[in-house]
Amino acid sequence: MSILTPELIENYVYSLYRQDDEQLIRMRETAEKTLVPIITRDMERFLYTLCRISRPKHILEVGTAIGYSAICFAQAASEARITTIENRERSVHKARANVKEAGLEERIRVIHGDAAEVLPEIEGVFDLIFIDAAKGQYHRFFDLCRKNMAPGTIIVSDNVLYKGMPCDESFIPQRRHKTIARRMDEYLRFLTEDEELETSLLAIGDGVALSICK
């Protein structure tokens, strides 16, 4: 259950969720069973609608896992090419197999490597950048993507409210989470204060920051 939404409301919102694609249904079931953290159902719907509104042609994703959100992007933005980065070898294999099964190999490129090392090599401007990897490094990932942004680029940062931890110390269960919570707080202050960005913070899933380059 998300700490950001009362259970009653979350259950109601989820009861309105629809997904007809059999592969995505299977992938979500597998992810839930094996505890692979993929986008929540409400986040999936949010990204889908965002893609329908903004019609991105070039999407960059940091954090592929098994390729669930990358396939969602490809379905929601039918003209888009997606570049996605994942550092866990096993996840890369699974993501590539899922992309192949979906018949999307031409449009989704899964790059194996640490985003901090891969991002400096990524060229070109992207219409949408989705940051969904190591939470303590969001600001670093953002800075490494700056060269790939132009006015109008949308940046979606997922899980930014991290079970409430950046909001108040009382939500931090263990010391080891403290640094991540502090870094996420700094990142959110940066996103909301940077003069070249316009940012909204939304309590969807585990919190999302929706930014656009001015």
Ligand X SMILES: C[S@@+](CC[C@H](N)C(=O)[O-])C[C@H]1O[C@@H](n2cnc3c(N)ncnc32)[C@H](O)[C@@H]1O
- State the residues that interact with ligand X by CB under 6 A: 37-39, 63-65, 68-69, 85-88, 91, 114-116, 132-134
Cβ proximity to ligand X, 84 vs 153, nearer residue: 84
134: left (phi over 0), alpha (psi -120 to 50) or beta: beta
Q: Closer to ligand X at the Cβ: 39 or 165?
A: 39
Min dist CB 214 to ligand X, Å, is 26
To ligand X, the closest distance from the beta carbon of 60 in angstroms equals 12
Query: Packing angle between helix 89-101 and helix 22-34, nearest 10 degrees?
Result: 160
Instruction: Record the tokens describing residue 69, joined without a space.
Output: 């959100």
| Tokens (6 digits) for 117 | 């090392």
Residue 8 Cβ, how far from ligand X at the closest point, in Å?
Answer: 25
CB 69, min distance to ligand X, A: 3
Nearer to ligand X, 88 or 214 (CB): 88
Query: What's the min distance (Å) between Cβ of 25 and ligand X?
Result: 14
Q: 87 vs 211, which CB is nearer to ligand X?
A: 87
Report the residue number, 89 or 193, with the smaller CB distance to ligand X: 89
- Long-range contact pairs involving 190-196 (C-beta distance under 8 Å, separation at least 24): 190/139, 190/142, 191/142, 191/157
CB closer to ligand X out of 40 and 214: 40
The CA distance from 206 to 43, in Å, is 9
In angstroms, give the least distance from the CB of 15 to ligand X: 21
- Give start and end residues of each alpha helix (H) in 35-81: 41-54, 68-76
Residues 180 and 206 sit within 8 Å (Cβ to Cβ): no
Q: Are 155 and 211 in contact (CB under 8 A)?
A: yes
How far is residue 140's CA from residue 71's CA, in Å, rounded to a whole number? 25
Task: Find the residue with minimal CB distance to ligand X.
Answer: 63
